[in-house]
């Protein structure tokens, strides 16, 4: 298991300045990070909001930024796109230093920070024209291209004030793609979308990623990150707790198994006797209430993966009618606990 | 200044599409006919009372002299009336009707009396949400994450604002002239107007007085109006950068302008008030020869005060806008 702790990384592991210059001239070479964040800190009115944030996003990957609300996700994202100046630390985008060379660095990024807010009194097309004029080399054909990528062709000449949230979201993405960025930053992109919209967005993100674009997606939902991302940085209270592959990090937190039978008391006693099963009382587990909604009164356990079929067979042999056995993914809270435990060791 | 033109185009387009300029035109189209009608009634009454405009001016002078003779009037107020008498006498001596009813004169008088309140109001309609509007709308996040330096964004906004301020002054003049001309006739451009009165205590130094054709006078007048409008525009841009809400930015600026005109009316004994920008915005008064609200003010002084306020506002605006963290 590899946990990449940026906090403890030694400076020698960074690429040299000369190597970075060469890479930026040749475009970002394979392996050279598209986004490199080092030792980011932010203090607002004498209070440290961001204590230590560092990670790298590599070309072509979908990078998740996971943390609960108020953990510093949005503040960090705002620092990545030059809306907030970091108190300490540095950000390199496509090899360009954001603080020293913001024009070059920002040309490599497209972003939507929080809600996709556009000028409501302009049409979708006029909005895109506004942003096209802010960068050289973006003509009408490019605008038409991004409009068709986000499939907004039919309504593009309507005023933005008449758009639905989903359409604004798509217009926002069109705006972000306009400058042919290497990196797309989306802050909680599924917020406020209905399930259909969320599904469409996920497909859309995979499609963009297939074109070689790197994506940086923040979310407070573990399941979102699991569904969309290759690697993830987990942030809490202004600190990055871990950076690594999603499957490896999520695997650290054990999943739960819920049992629903026709004789719950008997089943509970039987399960308690098994060494491979750990029972949880009502207040002991950190399960999402939503997960329990379909199985009221279910027995909450964690079971060793390989032992599960045997336990089921045992119940069946005792004549207990199994109505449901369900594996439930760990919550973000559970994951945090595991991560902080690992760090404390 | 490379790449500035498309940015200015953006900002100009935004102000236009927000329909701010339509609002200004609409206000003018409602107000100007109102004042034109009022002016028409005044001329009709005068024409009924006096066969000759000279009699009317003479009557005005006599009235003023009568009040001056009264003991109940404070000395301070008498000063203004004495100057007024001297000016009227000057017009009478040179056989020029200062109230000649024609479109050009109406426009000149309307513009002159609009500097202290009406123009600032129009300017605020354009400038107060220049930056704060982007913040309340959240669009500032899109604007500032594009690869364009922040100072360029602010500069493009100021250039667009300058264009619209100039356009608003031109539009006011044009609307006044066109509407009042329907009733008074479109003449009066070449009528001589006296300027160059130098106020020295309670007396007028008339040695510098000379007649200029009305069109030239109006050109100078418009220039002065432009300067005071630009000062208001720049100050209001600063407030718009500092204050997040557009309503707060309008209220702040209106309070400053109104308090300035109140102070100008009462602060003749508080001399330091002359350093406040809004006491100085009535620049056209110097052209007409109206005594300044506070002793020691002249056109050079007022221009300097406005210039310093505007420069300071620019420094603050650029300083804050380029450095500030966009937290929400």
B298-318 confidence digits (pLDDT tens): 889 999 999 999 999 999 999
pLDDT at A23: 39
For residue A136, count other CB atoms closer than 10 A to its CB. Answer: 12
Q: Identify residues of A whose CB sits under 8 angstroms from chain B CBs.
A: 44, 78, 81-85, 102-107, 109, 111, 113-115, 117-122, 126, 130-131, 133-136, 175, 179
| Contact residues on chain B for A107, CB-CB shorter than 8 A | 147
Range of lowest pLDDT (A289-293, A294-298, B107-111) = A289-293
pLDDT at A26 over 90: no
Task: Give the Cα separation of B91 and B89 in Å (integer).
Answer: 5
Contact state of A104 with B146 under an 8 Å Cβ cutoff? no
Task: Write down the domain spans for chain A.
Answer: 21-246, 254-329
Distances (CA, A) of A289 to A194, A297, A298, B150: 20, 12, 12, 46
When pLDDT is averaged across residues A257-271 and rounded to a whole number, the result is: 87
- Matching residue, tokens 């009194």: A121
pLDDT score of A298 more than 60: yes
Q: How confident is the model at residue A114 (pLDDT cuts 50, 70, 90)?
A: confident
Q: Which residues are CB-contacts of B126 (< 8 A; sequence separation ≥ 6)?
A: B15, B20, B21, B24, B161, B164, B165, B168, B233
Whether ipTM > 0.85 holds is: no
Nearest CA in chain A to B2: A136
| Contact state of A111 with B138 under an 8 Å Cβ cutoff | no
Secondary structure of residue A233 in the 3-state scheme? strand
Alpha-carbon distance A178 to nearest alpha carbon in chain B (angstroms): 11
For position A5, what pLDDT does the model report? 37
pLDDT at A31: 65
Is residue A1 pLDDT above 60, yes or no? Answer: no
Q: Whole-angstrom Cα distance, residue B299 to residue B206?
A: 17
Mean pLDDT for chain B overall: 87
What is the pLDDT, as a whole number, of residue B77? Answer: 67
Out of A230-244, A292-306, B71-85, pick the least confident.
B71-85
* pLDDT cut 70: percent of chain A above it: 86
Where is A78: in which H helix or E strand?
helix A73-80
pLDDT beyond 80 at B145:
yes
Report the range of poorest mean pLDDT among A67-76, A102-111, A222-231, B202-211. B202-211
Q: What is the pLDDT of residue A172?
A: 93
Give residue B33's pLDDT band: very low, low, confident or very high (50, 70, 90).
very high
Ordered by start, the domain boundaries in chain B are 4-49+100-323
With cut-offs at 50, 70 and 90, classify the pLDDT of residue A134: very high
CB A169 within 8 A of CB A116: yes
Chain B residue numbers touching A136 (CB-CB < 8 A): 3
Tell how far CA A74 is from the center of its chain. Answer: 12
Q: What is the mean pLDDT of residues B147-172?
A: 95
pLDDT of the residue at B200: 65
- Mean pLDDT of the region B241-260: 90
For domain A254-329, the question of CATH label 1.25.40 is answered with no
Interface residue ranges in chain B relative to chain A, Cβ cutoff 8 Å = 3, 6-7, 9-10, 13-14, 17-19, 137-139, 141-142, 144-149, 323, 325-327
A10 — pLDDT class (breaks 50, 70, 90): very low
Comparison of pLDDT for A176 and A1, the residue scoring more: A176
Closest to B15 measured CA to CA, from B168, B147, B119: B168
For the cut 70, the answer to whether the pLDDT of residue A230 exceeds it is: yes
Nearest CA in chain A to B322: A83
Q: For chain A, how big is the Rg over CA atoms in Å?
A: 24
CATH code assigned to A21-246:
3.40.50.300
Is there a contact between A75 and A37 (Cβ–Cβ < 8 Å)?
Answer: no
Instruction: Name every residue whose Cβ is closer than 8 Å to that of residue B177 and which is 6 or more positions away in sequence.
Output: B103, B104, B106, B107, B186
């Amino acid at each position: 298991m590899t946990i990449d702790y940026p906090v403890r990384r030694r400076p020698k592991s960074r690429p040299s300045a000369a190597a970075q210059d060469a890479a930026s001239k040749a475009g970002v070479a394979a392996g050279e990070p598209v986004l490199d964040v080092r030792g980011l800190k932010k203090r607002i009115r004498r209070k440290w909001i961001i204590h230590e944030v560092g990670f790298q996003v590599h070309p072509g990957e979908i990078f998740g930024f996971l943390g609960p609300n108020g953990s510093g996700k949005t503040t960090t994202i705002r620092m990545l796109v030059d809306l907030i100046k970091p108190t300490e630390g540095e950000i390199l985008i496509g090899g360009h230093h954001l603080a020293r060379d913001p024009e070059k660095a920002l040309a490599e990024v497209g972003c939507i920070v929080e809600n996709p807010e556009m000028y409501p009194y302009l049409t979708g097309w006029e909005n895109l024209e506004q942003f096209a004029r802010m960068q050289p080399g973006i003509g009408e054909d490019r605008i038409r291209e991004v409009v068709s990528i986000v499939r907004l062709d039919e309504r593009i000449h309507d005023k933005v004030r008449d758009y639905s949230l989903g359409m604004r979201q798509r217009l926002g993405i069109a705006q972000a793609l306009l400058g042919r960025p290497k990196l797309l930053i989306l802050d909680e992109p599924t917020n406020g979308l209905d399930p259909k919209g969320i599904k469409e967005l996920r497909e859309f993100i995979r499609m963009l990623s297939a074109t070689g674009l790197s994506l940086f997606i923040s979310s407070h939902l573990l399941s979102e990150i699991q569904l969309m991302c290759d690697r993830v940085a987990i942030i809490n209270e202004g600190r990055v707790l871990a950076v690594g592959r999603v499957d490896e990090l999520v695997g650290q937190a054990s999943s739960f198994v819920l049992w629903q039978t026709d004789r719950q008391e008997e089943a509970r006693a039987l399960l308690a006797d098994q060494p491979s099963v750990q029972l949880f009382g009502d207040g002991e587990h950190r399960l999402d209430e939503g997960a329990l909604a379909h199985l009221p009164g279910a027995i909450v356990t964690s079971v060793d993966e390989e032992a599960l079929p045997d336990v089921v067979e045992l119940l069946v042999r005792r004549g207990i009618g199994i109505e449901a056995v369900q594996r439930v993914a760990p919550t973000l809270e559970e994951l945090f606990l595991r991560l902080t435990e690992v760090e404390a060791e | 200044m490379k790449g500035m033109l498309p940015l200015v185009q953006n900002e100009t387009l935004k102000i236009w599409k927000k329909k701010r300029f339509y609002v200004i035109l609409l206000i003018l189209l409602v107000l100007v006919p109102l004042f034109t009608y009022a002016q028409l009634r005044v001329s009709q009454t005068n024409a009924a009372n006096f066969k000759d405009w000279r009699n009317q001016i003479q009557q005005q002078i006599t009235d003023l002299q009568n009040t001056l003779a009264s003991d109940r009037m404070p000395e301070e107020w008498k000063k203004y009336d004495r100057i007024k008498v001297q000016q009227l006498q000057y017009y009478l001596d040179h056989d020029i009707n200062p109230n000649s009813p024609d479109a050009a004169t109406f426009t000149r008088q309307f513009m002159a009396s609009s500097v202290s309140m009406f123009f600032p109001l129009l300017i605020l309609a354009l400038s107060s949400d220049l930056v704060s509007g982007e913040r309340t709308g959240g669009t500032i996040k899109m604007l500032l994450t594009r690869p364009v330096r922040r100072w360029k964004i602010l500069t493009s906004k100021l250039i667009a604002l300058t264009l619209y301020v100039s356009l608003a002054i031109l539009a006011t003049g044009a609307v006044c002239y066109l509407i009042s001309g329907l009733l008074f006739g479109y003449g009066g451009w070449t009528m001589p107007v006296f300027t160059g009165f130098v106020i020295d205590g309670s007396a007028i130094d008339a040695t510098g007085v000379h007649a200029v054709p009305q069109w030239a006078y109006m050109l100078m007048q418009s220039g002065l109006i432009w300067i005071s409008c630009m000062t208001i525009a720049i100050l209001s841009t600063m407030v718009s950068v500092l204050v997040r809400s557009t309503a707060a930015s309008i209220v702040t600026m209106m309070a400053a302008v109104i308090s300035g005109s109140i102070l100008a009316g009462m602060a003749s004994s508080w001399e330091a008030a002359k350093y406040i920008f809004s006491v100085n915005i009535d620049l056209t008064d110097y052209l007409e020869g109206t005594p300044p609200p506070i002793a020691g003010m002249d056109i050079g002084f007022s221009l300097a005060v406005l210039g310093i306020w505007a420069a300071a506002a620019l420094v603050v605006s650029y300083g804050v806008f380029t450095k500030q963290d966009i937290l929400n």
